[in-house]
Amino acid sequence: DTGVSQDPRHKITKRGQNVTFRCDPISEHNRLYWYRQTLGQGPEFLTYFQNEAQLEKSRLLSDRFSAERPKGSFSTLEIQRTEQGDSAMYLCASSLPGRADNNEKLFFGSGTQLSVL
Amino acid sequence: AQSVTQLGSHVSVSEGALVLLRCNYSSSVPPYLFWYVQYPNQGLQLLLKYTTGATLVKGINGFEAEFKKSETSFHLTKPSAHMSDAAEYFCAVSRGSTLGRLYFGRGTQLTVWP
C-alpha cells in the first residue's frame, strides 16, 4: 500500500493556460474523489468515480473542468483556460467501500497546489 | 442540505492541557460525522467517525468525539495535548449513501505550546 499519489505536487501557470493533474489511487480502490481546498477553507467536493463511471459532479465543476478515469484506475483532472480563482490545492482520495456503506474510509493524497498568475 | 460549522479557526493550548475543538452540523438526514487531521505537506487523515451505535467515538492518537443529536454537535476532545497534535483539524458530515461525499467545515488550527 503506497498510498494515494498525486502529480505534480505544485503547478504554476499563467491565466488562460490549460493544466492537467493526475491521481493514482490505492490499488484496487474502486472509488475515487476529487476535492478542492482554497486558503482558509475546508475541502470542497468536486466529483467522484466508481470504477470508470463518473457518478456525481458538483456545481463547482464548471464547463472548464473535466475529470476522467478511463480504465478505472488512475484519474486526471483538467482545467481549461485557467483563471486566478482556480488557484487552490486539488486533493484526490480513494476508497474501497465494504459491504456496508458506513465502512467506507477515504485515503487522501497530499494534493496538487495550483497557482494561476 | 448539509453544512458544518467549526467554532474557532485557531485554538491554542499548553502541552498537557485539554483539547476541545467544536463542531456543529446541520443535516436534512441522519448524519455520518467525521473528524480529519491535516499535518503540513500531508494528506488528510481520518481521526474518527460516527455512523451508528455508540455516540461516544474513540479515534486515533487519544482523540474522541461525542455525537449529541439534541445539540447537533460533534465536538472533538483529547484529555492531554501533545506537541505532535499541532495540526489543522476538519469536521465533516456525509449524507451516508456515499461516505466519501463529504461536506467539510473551515477547519481549526491547533497550536500546542510547550
Residue A8: is the preceding peptide bond cis (ω within 30°)? yes
Q: For position A96, what pLDDT does the model report?
A: 84
Q: Tell me the pLDDT of chain B averaged across its residues.
A: 91
Q: Give the Cα separation of B86 and A104 in Å (integer).
A: 27
Interchain CB distance below 8 Å, B104 and A44: yes
Per-residue confidence band for B6, with pLDDT thresholds at 50, 70 and 90: very high
User: A23 or B29: whose pLDDT is higher?
Assistant: A23
Q: Say yes or no: A58 contacts chain B, CB-CB below 8 A.
A: no
pLDDT (0 to 100) of residue B13: 97
Q: What is the per-residue pLDDT across B44-57, written as a single tens digit (0 to 9) for each?
A: 999 999 988 888 99
B107/A41 Cβ within 8 A: yes
What was the pLDDT predicted at A104? 77
**Per-residue model confidence as pLDDT tens digits over B93-108:** 987 667 788 999 999 9
For residues A65 and A82, give the distance between their C-alpha atoms in angstroms, rounded to a whole number.
9
Tens of pLDDT along B68-90? 988 999 999 999 999 999 999 99
Residue B108 and residue B105: Cα distance in Å, rounded?
Answer: 9
pLDDT for res B96: 63
Q: Dump pLDDT digits (tens) for A35-85.
A: 999 988 999 999 999 999 999 999 888 899 999 999 889 999 999 999 999
* Block residue for cell numbers 443535516: B27
Taking 90 as the threshold, does the pLDDT of residue B36 lie above it?
A: yes
Question: Quick check: A13 and A81 in contact, CB under 8 A?
Answer: no
pLDDT number for residue A42 = 94
Q: Are B37 and B54 in contact (CB under 8 A)?
A: no
Query: A73 is written with which cell numbers?
Result: 484506475
Confirm if B103 and B1 have CB atoms less than 8 A apart: no
Q: How far is B48 from chain A (nearest CA, A)?
A: 10
Predicted pLDDT of residue A100: 57
Amino acid identity of residue A50, one-letter, is Q
CB-closest option in B102, B105, B107 to A45 = B102
Nearest to B68 by CA among B96, B31, B99: B31
- Angle at B40 (CA atoms; ends B113, A8), nearest 5 degrees: 170
Polymer length of chain A: 117
Q: In B3-105, where do the E strands start and end?
A: 3-7, 10-14, 19-26, 32-38, 45-50, 56-58, 64-68, 73-78, 87-94, 102-104
Q: Which conformational region is residue A101 in: left (phi greater than 0), alpha (psi within -120 to 50 degrees), or beta?
A: alpha
B64 or B29: which leads in pLDDT: B64
**Cα(B8)–Cα(A116) distance, rounded to whole angstroms?**
30
How far is B40 from chain A, CA to nearest CA, in Å?
9
pLDDT tens across A92-113, in order?
Answer: 999 987 655 566 788 999 999 9
With a cut of 90, say whether residue B21 has pLDDT above it: yes
Give chain B positions within 8 Å (CB) of A42: 4, 90, 92, 104-107
Find the residue in A nearest to B99 (Cα).
Answer: A104
